[in-house]
Chain A
Amino acid sequence: EVQLLESGGGLVQPGGSLRLSCAASGFTFSSYAMSWVRQAPGKGLEWVSAISGSGASTYFADSVKGRFTISRDNSKNTLNLQMSSLRAEDTAVYYCAKDLGRLCFDYWGQGTLVTVSS
């Protein structure tokens, strides 16, 4: 059974940093690209970042480019999102998602809430 479990969310001040992690199990982690998708309170879904199975290629939405980095540790089946220079508009539930192909997500974690506020 595929499981994705996010952690690391919380309250952070504007301009601060936070690191999210996603522990994956139930599939061959290194064989699949992974993404982070966020959802602001009461709003729709927004793709944030993707990383290839090997970790060699990374992609970012314009809204987070230069502020967020994505990485993975295939030996530990873990996906990470390092967020810096956080803004109020980054407040959202952040989901990690397994990529079925071409950024179609067949499994999602339960999400972790990031709140950026002073």
Chain B
Amino acid sequence: QSALTQPPSASGSPGQSVTISCTGTSSDVGGYNYVSWYQQHPGKAPKLMIYEVTKRPSGVPDRFSGSKSGNTASLTVSGLQAEDEADYYCSSYAGCNNRVVFGGGTKLTVL
């Protein structure tokens, strides 16, 4: 299974909004509403930020939001803060023998 496609980098100034895309196929992103987004700071374990395309786990700020259109999912971070600087990974359930596929990751820089 090929990885989902994410831009390698994204950036924004404090207070601005940034959107990270995640493109897959009809066999993963487009076929299921099971897209997740993870935040990973250097040397740390990933943290779940968004699941089932739009849902936020308890404790995740509402500055983080998710959406999906066709085979592309998106993560939007509004009101950027310094602590949002991290790597972000999308993933999608891919059915077929119960598999999940990840995106290559996007490094978000807060300028």
Q: How large is the interface on B (under 10, 10 to 19, 20 to 34, 35 or more residues)?
A: 20 to 34
Q: Is A109 an interface residue (CB 8 A)?
A: yes
What residues of B have a CB within 8 angstroms of the CB of A106 in the complex? 48, 51, 57
What residues of A have a CB within 8 angstroms of the CB of B97 in the complex? 59
Contact B47 A108 (CB under 8 A): yes
Q: Is A88 an interface residue (CB 8 A)?
A: no
In this complex, how many residues of chain A approach chain B with their Cβ under 8 Å: the count is 24
Q: Which residue of A lies closest to B37 (CB)?
A: A104
Interface residues of A in 88-106 (CB under 8 A from B): 95, 100-106
Which 10 A-B residue pairs are closest in the complex by CB-CB distance? A103-B100, A108-B45, A102-B34, A102-B93, A44-B105, A104-B36, A45-B102, A104-B51, A59-B98, A47-B100
Can you name 23 A-B pairs with beta carbons within 8 Å? A35-B100, A37-B46, A44-B3, A44-B89, A44-B104, A45-B38, A45-B46, A45-B105, A47-B101, A95-B45, A95-B46, A102-B32, A102-B100, A103-B91, A103-B100, A104-B34, A104-B36, A104-B51, A104-B91, A105-B48, A106-B48, A106-B51, A111-B45
| Contacts A102-B32, A103-B98, A105-B46 known; 12 new A-B pairs at CB < 8 A | A44-B102, A45-B91, A46-B102, A47-B91, A47-B100, A47-B101, A47-B102, A59-B97, A102-B34, A104-B100, A106-B48, A106-B51
Binding site for B on A (CB under 8 A): 35, 37, 44-47, 50, 57, 59, 61-62, 95, 100-111
